[in-house]
Amino acid sequence: MKHLAAYLLLDLAGKTPDAKEIKQLLKTVGIEADDDRLKTLFAELKGKEINELIAEGATKLASVPSGGGGGGAAAGGAAGGAAAKEEAPAEEAKKDEKEDESDEDMGFGLFD
């Protein structure tokens, strides 16, 4: 992916990407290029227009379902000890409110 990303960045910059430029670009961000992967990348892209490949890929992705299906409902808790549990959340809520207030401004106000 890093080799393809470098290829696309160079193409976007208006250059005709080659192995040397990709290696140089990756080196600037501290990544060593893999010669075998570069050979594979150029072999796969030979004779193809990158913009056409992107458009073709986008149409394929359009048919892939995405988005959340929701998920199952949360399981209910045990019925035993309900009275004790009702008191604890009220105390915890008071503690949480105090902690939240101090965390919100982090010791300074926005307009101070």
Mean pLDDT for each consecutive 10-residue tract of the chain (112 residues)?
92 91 94 94 91 89 76 60 55 57 56 55
Structure tokens at 90: 């009220």
The pLDDT score that the predictor gives to residue 43 is 93
Architecture of domain 2-59: Orthogonal Bundle (1.10)
pLDDT at 5: 93
Residue 88, phi-psi category: left (phi > 0), alpha (psi -120 to 50), beta (remainder)? alpha
- The reported pLDDT for the residue numbered 77 is 59
Q: What is the structure's pLDDT at 97?
A: 56
Domain boundaries, the chain: 2-59
Segment 39-58, tens digit of pLDDT: 999 999 999 998 898 899 89
Predicted confidence at residue 16, as pLDDT, reads: 87
Contact (Cβ atoms closer than 8 angstroms) between residue 41 and residue 6: no
Residue type at position 45: L
SS3 64: coil
Q: Say what the pTM is.
A: 0.53
* 3 state DSSP class of 65: coil
